[in-house]
Amino acid sequence: MNSIIIASRNGGKIREIKQILSLDGVRLQDLREIGFDEPIEETGSSFDENALIKARAVYRRYRTWVVADDSGLVVPFLKGEPGVRSARYGGAGADDQENNRILLENMADAYGEQRKAWFVCVSILYCGEGNYRRAEGKVEGYLTTEPRGYGGFGYDPLFFLQDLGKTMAQLSDDEKNAISHRGRAFRKFGEEIVRRLENQSDQR
């Protein structure tokens, strides 16, 4: 069985990627499963840079295919914040609840269209030095004034989808993966992974 490493320790993100990239003959392992405990400093100024930093760090140690992503919430009213700092918006060690609290405080004076926001995910399929593919997913919504729902993670309880009349946290896993930024980004890799594996087998 072919193994691909998910360059993440985030339980919610890992669960979603494994559901989205469920492929016959492919085993997905995350950093906790393989015992990778080295810190990866996300020093990039963009989602692309941070996704590549994570993918390269893991590939250079294990020399096997890696999928990585960097994602976050972009709020025009806050001049693009939290952006690449989405997971660290409330400061070092802040959890989802604290990040959501800070976001709501900063959005207190925003109304109507000012509460528009979008989730962005840049994903990387890294197969070797300089040999990788990038994909991007985006989903637009509005920020609520209080959390709604108990599913998902991160800013999901505050992210309202008008077409569905629900926040991300009120969706089932299947509903969320079908429309989410991460689902849209990683689904683009399904056929690519199968094709690359078939080519690899033909060359043996």
Contact 129, 113 (CB under 8 A): no
Distance CA 163, CA 139 (A): 12
For 9, 117, 197, 201, the CA distances from 3, given in Å and listed in that order, are 17, 36, 11, 14
Contact 182, 16 (CB under 8 A): yes
Question: Reduced to 3 states, what is the DSSP secondary structure of residue 82?
Answer: strand
Active-site choice (70, 95, 156, 174): 70
Sign, CA torsion 187/192/195/196: negative
Supply the Cα-derived Rg of the chain in whole angstroms: 17
Angle at 186 between CA 92 and CA 201, to 5 degrees: 125
Does the annotation count 109 as an active-site position? no
**Active site residue ranges:** 70
